[in-house]
Amino acid sequence: MNKFKSTRRSAIVTSLIISCFFILIQCIDNGEKKAKKEDTSAAVPDKTKINFKQFAGAATCMKCHKEIYESFIQTNHFLTSQPASEKYIKGSFEKGKNIFPFNDHLYVSMEKRDSGLYQVAWQHGIEKIAKRFDIVTGSGAKGQTYLSWHNNELFQLPISFFTAANEWANSPGYDPEKIIYNRPATSRCLECHSTYFDVISPAGKEPEEYDHNQILYGVQCEKCHGPAERHVAYETQNPADKTGKYIINPAMLSRQQNLDLCALCHGGRLQKTTPSFEFTVGDTLSHYFIKNTAAPATKEIDVHGNQYGLLEESKCFRMSATMTCITCHNTHENERGQTELFSQRCKTCHNKEHGTFCKIRQLPVSSIKSNCVDCHMPKQPSMSVALLLPGNFVPTAALIHTHLIKVYPEETKQFIQKNKLSKTR
């Protein structure tokens, strides 16, 4: 009997020891998971649903990152949406320059009134409708279009601005004979032209509704670094800690994470499977969107809006294990038009040491070194950024550098000829 009690006691003690051991392991494991979660220098997005309170705003970032901030606010990303004002609207309100005519009795005038800036439709000299410029979308590098509030809904105004012609133009896809004020601005459009809009309407309601007071205009810092309210709170309390807590450094992302971040807006027509503004830096794009399985042939991919699709087809990209958009683009700087700077980046791979330098012999090396872009990424007409100018019935396309990097024989001939002529003058 005593032997049985002793055996039973030993079994109980052993069970308790084993239980304690497993509890200890579980605690250690949970602690490690918690530590990993709190180590926000890693490229892991916060999976909680994004809301306006999680953002700090670019002006807050300026307090610690003043130099980067002052440079970044000059970029087209930052300027891709702003509250409407004469400062941001590129078109003229000056008499004689403020009219877009549809025909001899129907036109829209851009007007300054006491309550704001308006697009006013006139027919036979009678005012028919006036809608205010409320939001500017587009930096103006190629053009701009404008949105107007109606209660909590946003609608695109009928007249846009085409930078290449320096003129007002009929908005893309609009009827050339009708003035249209009822095209709604969707959250998917706003997702690429802003950092955050709070959608307050139920899923499936069209037009969607937005909170006027919970908007972050432009593609700000937090579009690429994640919502920063928690980061700001921590750094304010711990100024000596330079580890960058609760913020994502895109340099820590995998190649595909980096590409997915850019493809959110530069990946063509994506069909969303979750509400807009839920994708954030470090996420996997396919968890939020369905890529078009009936993708067009490369020659049909538009040069505007699907730079990623074109880049994917490029030999430069396919032969590299590391190339991403930020290999060539510094998103903190306004580098538009700096052909020589981009060409320097090409030469990090295409150089004599690698045996991949340009084979053109008709021009001096200095001419070739300063411009890889016009031969290998020439400007091409956009199918999506094509606007009707006054008096025209065929849209005029914006010319945009293609991201399908390859040899373009005709463009190369033009480049050689142009440079030869410039040398003889």
Work out the number of other CB atoms within 10 angstroms of the CB of residue 69: 19
Counting residues of the chain whose pLDDT is more than 70, the rounded percentage is 86
Task: Using DSSP, state whether 229 is helix, strand or coil.
Answer: helix
Q: Specify if 141 maps to a domain.
A: yes
Q: Tell me the pLDDT band of 299, cut-offs 50, 70 and 90.
A: confident
Mean pLDDT, the chain, whole residue set = 88
* 10 occurs within a structural domain: no
Statement: residue 12 has pLDDT above 50? no
- What pLDDT shows up at residue 85? 97
**36 or 313: which leads in pLDDT:** 313
| Residue where one domain finishes, among candidates 218, 242, 270 | 218
276: Cα within 13 Å, side-chain hemisphere: 26
Say if residues 109 and 98 touch (Cβ distance below 8 Å): yes
* Mean pLDDT for the stretch of residues 105-121: 97
pLDDT of residue 294: 54
Q: Is the residue at 11 inside a domain?
A: no
pLDDT digits (tens, 9 = 90+) for 94-106: 999 999 999 999 9
Give strand ranges (E) for 66-142.
81-83, 99-103, 106-113, 116-123, 126-132, 135-137
Token reading at 202: 């139920």
Residues 208 and 302 in one domain: no
Q: Are residues 208 and 301 in the same domain?
A: no
Does residue 69 have a pLDDT over 90? yes
More confidently predicted of 6 and 378: 378
Residue 307 lies in domain: 295-425
Shared-domain flag, residues 214 and 86? yes
Q: What percentage of residues in the chain have a pLDDT greater than 90? A: 75
The answer to whether residues 85 and 200 belong to one domain is yes
How many domains would you assign to the chain?
2
Judge whether residue 355 has pLDDT over 60: yes
Report how many helices (DSSP H) and strands (DSSP E) the chain contains, helices first.
13, 17
Question: Is the pLDDT score of 34 beyond 50?
Answer: no
Q: What is the C-alpha separation between 281 and 45, in angstroms, rounded? A: 6
328 and 423 assigned to the same domain: yes
Q: What is the DSSP string of 29-53?
A: HHHHHHHHHH-TTSS----SPP-GG
Which SS3 state, helix, strand or coil, does residue 66 take? Answer: helix
212 & 302 share domain: no
Residues 209, 84 share a domain = yes
- Produce one character per residue of 112-134: b if its CB has 16 or more CB atoms within 10 Å, e if not: eeeeebbbbbbeeeeeeebbbbb
Among 176, 194, 218, the domain-final residue is 218
Same domain, 211 and 113: yes
Distance, CA of 348 to CA of 327 (rounded, Å): 10
Same domain, yes or no: 316 and 210: no
Mean local confidence (pLDDT), 229-252: 94
Read off the pLDDT band of 1 (50, 70, 90): very low
Q: Is the pLDDT of residue 200 over 80?
A: yes
- Which of 33-42, 91-100, 399-408 is least confident? 33-42
SS3 annotation, 362-409:
CCCHHHHHCCCHHHHCCEEEEEEEEEECCCCCCCEEEEEECCCCCCCH
- Asked if residue 114 belongs to a domain, the reply is yes
Q: How many Cα atoms sit within 13 Å of 273 on the Cβ side?
A: 9
Helices (H), 252-403: 255-266, 307-312, 315-318, 339-346, 365-369, 373-376
Whether a cis peptide bond, with omega within 30° of 0, leads into 184 is no
Domain termination site, one of 184, 218, 252: 218
Average pLDDT over residues 194-218: 97
Residue keyed to tokens 């896809």: 173
Residues 284 and 335: their CA atoms lie apart, in Å, by: 28
Give the CA dihedral 264, 269, 273, 278, nearest 10 degrees.
30
Residue 51 lies in a domain: no
